[in-house]
Chain A
Amino acid sequence: MAALRRRWIGILILVGALYAVPVLVDHPYTLHVLTVALIYGVLASSVNLSLGYAGMLSMGHMGFAGIGAYTMAILVQRLSFPYWLAFLSGVVLAGLAGIAVGVPSVKLRRSSFVIVTLAFGIIMHLFFNNLDDLTGGAVGLPDVPRPPALQLGSWAVDFTSNTTFYFLVATTAIVVVGMLHLIARSGFGHLLVSIREDEELALMRGVNVKLYKVVCLGISAGLAGVGGMLLGSYLRVVAPMSFEFRASIDVVLITVLGGVGTLAGPLLGAGLFVALPEYLRITNELRLVIFGLILVVLILYSPQGLMKVVEAAIGKVSPGRAGRHHNGDSVTRVGYHG
């Protein structure tokens, strides 16, 4: 019980810190870095759902993110949809794209699934880049709106300021991680893990493996859409560059860096991936050279990611946490053997 309470206190402190940053640090650059990191955290969390819980490695997740972002931008700009209705449509369409990709591909061998999602991501990028009339071609769609002001009685929250938009992004990240937590603890989540661990066994026990995998990919793609729309709204532009094949690799990398199948891992990974190089003042290329190497070393020596390293460190400090792996909810955090 003490361990559990300590865990909740830890989560509360983290959430509090997330919200306190703009109040404590009046520094636009820090805010920018954190906003981008949290958006990538959302994108990585969506990868985490399909990869970490159901064992489906998608190399085309930015394709889903792009579908969400372009849907939202086009609906708002061309058809004058209200922002949040367009946002919701973006989530739904990205989710449907996930289902459409999932239906024919989840029954394939794992290697083929990787390739199909990769091909999907590349095809989507080619569409974004070449359907000039619809997507604005290589330039993309400029002047993507921020969400409208939120009216709470006489108090209005206006998202055009980067500070308030940060709160929106932070809240979304917390909600997404909370959602993943609930999914992981639910019967659905346990079935996903059982599929990841042994698909044959799950099939024999009568689990509708295909259905669960498709639904999982659909939710994951919808979440990627959320990430894509936040990115578009924040940068005020939706352009094909954001949804490249290598961006899809980046989000997988972030997930693995932080820890596949752990809740906080993707946020940790995104923080390191986005923030560290900004502050070390190294070029983007050198950053990717270093992260590429780190990834290889990590996969060789600690395939469960940095979260595992952090947990082990915390476990050494406070014995209460080390025992957690043996209690009830350990099923969602058992080692990832992909």
Chain B
Amino acid sequence: MGSLIAEQVFNGVMMASVYALIATGLVLIFGVMRVFNFAHGEFVMVGAYVTTFVFAATRNYFLAILAAMAALAVMGVIAERAVFRRLRSLHGQVIAASGLLLFFQNLAVLLWGPHALRTPVPYRTMIVNVLGFTVSVQRLLVVGISLVIMLLLFLFLHKTRLGTAIRATAQSQDAAYVVGIDVDRVHVVVFAISAALAGLAGALIGPLFLTYPTMGSLPLLKGLAAVIVGGMDSIVGAILASLLIGITESISTMFISSGFKDAVAFFMLVVVLVVRPRGIFGSAVRGE
């Protein structure tokens, strides 16, 4: 029983790392631009496809991950320039993002077929023994790479000029203009980072599960749940909420049918919103 729980907790932490990558991306663009990107899950999906194809061509998983992040950064810039920067209203953004969601999901079906693709990364079947229980190296990589990237992001946001400019813009766009920050550039950079994080999430889960056109939907929704539970504008909150959701979800499979596993995050979301609308870790509500 004890080792079973430990195993579920580890699984939970692994899923939480993926949710955290997605949630952090969402918080970044929401915090800085007040944009709600519903098509973020499709970024995850495209990231997984890029990984699958680059891995098939080069047999190098780490190169494939980098390629996915780079490709998605470009896609993020295009999405920001072409669509999101022109939309100020929440409903406009949500609807445009839904349009992008339909566009990318179905384009993926047309280009690559509806069936799931396998990414035969060798780390999936490589097993190591950690603290008495066995895990695949791929699962450790998911947690490890997410952790490293999050640390790098933290350092970037806090130790560089551009990172500071991003945080300043998140605090007050008007003030950022006043002190001479190139807010336009900040928006592009933030969207690129956010999309690259989604691409990374796709690159990590694609080989573990499978790569298919609708694979981004559930992770996105869990990420969104983490963003809300975590309080919309706090990266730390989003990460903690991701852990909470990932672990609860994973442990819940020991008690409820796995069909309902996915409902856990959304129940938590609804409960948190009703009891504490600003989220568990959220600061006071700032505007819309």
Contacts and interface: CB of A to CB of B under 8 A. Distances in A.
Nearest to A122: B266
Interface residues of A, number: 48
A325 to B, nearest CB: 21
B239 interface: no
Interface in B61-110: 83, 86-87, 89-92, 94-96, 98-107, 109-110
Contacts of A129: 259
A84 B267 CA distance: 33
Secondary structure type dominating chain B contacts: helix
B91 A57 contact: yes
Contact of A296 (B100, B109, B259): B100
Interface string B254-275: 0001011011001101100110
B184 interface: no
Contacts of A109: 277, 285, 288
Contact of A126 (B100, B101, B260, B274): B260
B266 A289 contact: no
Interface in A270-292: 283-289, 291-292
A51 B225 CA distance: 22
Contacts of A76: none
A112 interface: yes
Nearest to A253: B98
Contacts of A191: none
A253 B101 CA distance: 12
Nearest to B275: A104
A244 to B, nearest CB: 10
Contact of A130 (B86, B103, B260): B260
Nearest to B257: A130
Interface of A: 51, 55, 57, 59, 104-105, 107-112, 114-116, 118-120, 122-123, 126-127, 129-130, 245-246, 249, 252-253, 256, 283-289, 291-296, 299-300, 303, 337-338
28 contacts: A55-B91, A105-B273, A109-B288, A112-B228, A112-B277, A114-B90, A115-B225, A115-B269, A118-B221, A118-B224, A120-B266, A126-B262, A249-B101, A285-B110, A286-B106, A288-B103, A289-B102, A289-B107, A291-B99, A291-B102, A292-B102, A292-B106, A295-B98, A296-B96, A299-B87, A300-B96, A338-B89, A338-B91
Interface of B: 36, 83, 86-87, 89-92, 94-96, 98-107, 109-110, 217, 221, 224-225, 228, 232, 257, 259-260, 262-263, 266-267, 269-270, 273-274, 277, 285, 288
